[in-house]
Amino acid sequence: MNGLRLEGAGLVHPNGHRALKNVSLALGSGERVAVIGPSGAGKTTLVRVLGTSLRPSEGRLFIDDDDPWRLGAGALRRTRARIGVVHQSPPIPPRLRVVTAVLAGRLGSWPGWKALASLVVPSDAGGARAALDRLDLGDRVFDRCDRLSGGQLQRVGIARVLYQRPAFILADEPVSALDPSLADLSVGALVAESEATRGATLVASLHAVDLALKWFPRLIGMRAGEIVFDRPTAAVTTTMLHELYATEGRALPRQGVEPIDDAVRAANVVVLKRPGCQ
Amino acid sequence: MAPLPVPLRDPAARRRATAALVALLLLWPLLVLAEFKPWQLFAGGNLQVMASFLAGFLPPATAPDFLALLWKATLETLAIATAGIALAFVVAVPLAAMATRALAVSRIGPGPGRATGAAIRTATRALLTVLRAIPEVVWALVFVRALGLGPGAGVLALAVTYGGMLGKVYTEILESGDTRSARALLEAGSPRLGALFYALVPSTAQELASYTVYRWECAVRASVVMGFVGAGGLGQLMDQSMKMLNGGEASTILLTFLALVIVADALSAVIRRVLA
């Protein structure tokens, strides 16, 4: 099966903290899944395990039927070049220009001479600009990253992954620093990338339940390192959501795109029937 | 909220106090061993001896033919230091990239080849240690025998020792910055070279540049000592002046050093501003 698959994956951090417990899931290529759950549920760890930056201490990960941790160094590097990760706090040096930060997305596929030459004269400023335009940030392409706000930098991190054009997009709280409308725009851009012809698999951990409901046809609820539910969004009831967040007080965390009630939930099912979605 | 029953105690306080005490206890025998007795400076007549020695340095020599020699020697010293640092840089950069943990792909996971990776890093660090453990003046003595008297030996000596020093400090600077950005690139399949130039160098450029300029300044001073063993430049001139007991010439040479250090300082400030 093409896509990402976890079989009984568990992860214990070196300090003894258990972050994942017996997680099994399969994501087909082109599938879009949101991972939701209270903070500390293991969402970030799950994304990092899927992105081969953490090695599961139990169970196995398969990427297109290969266990990346049994590959040689070269094959692992080529596999990683097909994975794009949007980090919650973008790991971009402040002195870098936006254009360079975005172009860095393709370092995994560029030959070394091209990477070095692009530091002197950006080799594909147009491509970087196009990626930034999709996030309403095209006018900042030649600015330095330390001139940007936290939200703008977060969108540069998303633009880098869009420019990378990976087969798997893993987003860890990709819009935590954005206001509601920009968050909506940015998640929309990631979804559009996944819906495009090549069909990238998209896994996004989201704190905002409303965004997850609006954009993703499948939801995985996590709590204390375990999967609580994994089902089509239309089959997730408001009660299930409230139970998932029971420890965080009464209100469901949301970005403020739309209120979460059953009427909107019904509307979301309509949204999900747009062409290109199943 | 009720007040806490016991006053809050800093758990680190005792450890810090112990560390300070141990440092003092270790320092004391070292001072004794080093015959550190500063009060002897002021004991009968010592001040006078020093004063008359220093008085021999005044006034600085300004004879035109000496100044011409000084000018030529200064240029030679600058050439030795600059060429030496440039070669040292060429030695240091690849070694630092090999030795730094910030670019260790196999540490992610950990993945395949981690034993090999760790072995290569340890071997590179060992090589850097050997390069810088032998003082440049010793290398200069060796190279003077091979290349004859003159600046060439000084350049090679600097390249070896300073290559080791730059490599070690570059390795550590690259690890001390924000290494998350490099790791993110490595996790997206970037080769090490890409992670070095798109993540590590941009986040540490100022520190790297300022340390390199500082080493250049040290190289200017080191070229003096090497001049004493025949490796050319201001040092050789200084050696001749001292042997002829010409204090005035020596003090002019020392003033030249002062000027060079000031220039290095200004250069460092400019580079840091450009890279800021």
Q: Which domains does chain A have, with CATH numbers?
A: 3-82+166-271 (3.40.50.300), 98-164 (no CATH)
The pTM assigned to this predicted structure is 0.82
Pairing of strands A83-86, A168-172: parallel
The answer to whether the beta carbons of residues A151 and A182 sit under 8 Å apart is yes
Contact across the interface for A83 and B198, Cβ inside 8 Å: no
A212-234: pLDDT as tens digits: 999 999 999 999 999 999 999 99
Domain assignment present for residue B262? The answer is yes
DSSP 8-state symbol, B197: I
pLDDT at A272: 40
Question: Helix or strand or coil: residue B181?
Answer: helix
Instruction: Please compute the mean of the pLDDT values over residues A47-71 and round it to a whole number.
Output: 92
Structure confidence at residue A197 as a pLDDT band (50, 70, 90): low
What does the block give as tokens for A20?
A: 């994942």
Q: List the 197-226 stretch of B: residues with Cβ below 8 A of A.
A: 197-199, 202-203, 205
Q: Which of A195, A89, A181 is nearest to A135 (CA)?
A: A181
The answer to whether the beta carbons of residues B94 and B120 sit under 8 Å apart is no
Name beta bridge partners: A230: A220
Q: List the 165-194 stretch of A: residues with Cβ below 8 A of B.
A: 166
Domain assignment present for residue B270? The answer is yes
Domain of residue B111, residue span = 65-275
pLDDT at B7: 73
Residue identified by tokens 């706090």 is A89
Measure B224 CA to nearest chain A CA, in Å.
38
Contact across the interface for B275 and A76, Cβ inside 8 Å: no
pLDDT at B269: 86
Structure ipTM: 0.87
Measure the CA–CA gap between A203 and A6, rounded to whole angstroms: 13
Measure B113 CA to nearest chain A CA, in Å.
7
pLDDT at A166: 92
**Is the confidence at residue B183, as pLDDT, over 90?**
yes
* Nearest by CB: B187 against A51, A105, A109: A51
The number of domains in chain B is: 1
The contacts of residue A144 (CB under 8 Å, 6+ apart) are A94, A95, A96, A97, A98
* Nearest by CB: A91 against B113, B180, B197: B180
Measure B199 CA to nearest chain A CA, in Å.
6
A-chain residue closest to B178, CA distance = A93
Q: Is B94 on the interface with A (CB under 8 A)?
A: no
CB contacts, 8 Å: A77 with chain B: 105, 189, 191
Measure the CA–CA gap between B145 and B66, rounded to whole angstroms: 29
Hey, of B108, B181, B193, which one would you mutate to test binding to chain A, going by the most A CBs within 10 A of its CB? B181
How far is CA B218 from each of CA A206, B94, B158, B209, rounded to the nearest angstrom?
53, 22, 10, 14
**Is the confidence at residue A146, as pLDDT, over 70?**
yes
* Nearest by CB: A95 against B183, B186, B202: B202
The CATH number of whichever domain residue B80 belongs to comes to 1.10.3720.10
Domain assignment present for residue B150? The answer is yes
Question: Helix or strand or coil: residue B15?
Answer: helix
Domain assignment present for residue B51? The answer is no
pLDDT at B55: 82
- Per the model's pLDDT, the better-predicted residue between A275 and A239 turns out to be A239
How far from the centroid of its chain's Cα atoms is residue B213's Cα? 9
Instruction: Please compute the mean of the pLDDT values over residues B228-247 and round it to a whole number.
Output: 81
- What is the DSSP track for A89-137? S----TTSBHHHHHHGGGTTTS-HHHHHHHHHS-TTHHHHHHHHHTTT-
Domain assignment present for residue B2? The answer is no
Is the bond leading into B59 cis (omega within 30 degrees of zero)? yes
Measure A258 CA to nearest chain B CA, in Å.
33
Structure confidence at residue B91 as a pLDDT band (50, 70, 90): very high
**Is the confidence at residue A271, as pLDDT, over 50?**
no
Measure the CA–CA gap between B219 and B24, rounded to whole angstroms: 33
Q: Is A256 on the interface with B (CB under 8 A)?
A: no
Instruction: Please compute the mean of the pLDDT values over residues B173-196 and round it to a whole number.
Output: 91
Structure confidence at residue A275 as a pLDDT band (50, 70, 90): very low
**Cα atoms in the 13 Å half-sphere on the side-chain side of B141:** 6
Measure the CA–CA gap between B264 and A18, rounded to whole angstroms: 53
A175-180 contacts at long range (C-beta below 8 A, 24 or more positions apart): A175/A206, A175/A208, A175/A211, A175/A255, A176/A88, A176/A207, A177/A150, A177/A151, A177/A153, A178/A151, A178/A154, A178/A255, A179/A151, A180/A255, A180/A256, A180/A257
B35-77: pLDDT as tens digits: 888 777 777 778 888 888 788 778 887 888 888 888 988 888 8
CB contacts, 8 Å: B108 with chain A: 52-53
Helix, strand, coil shares of chain B as percentages rounded to 5? 80, 0, 20
Domain assignment present for residue B252? The answer is yes
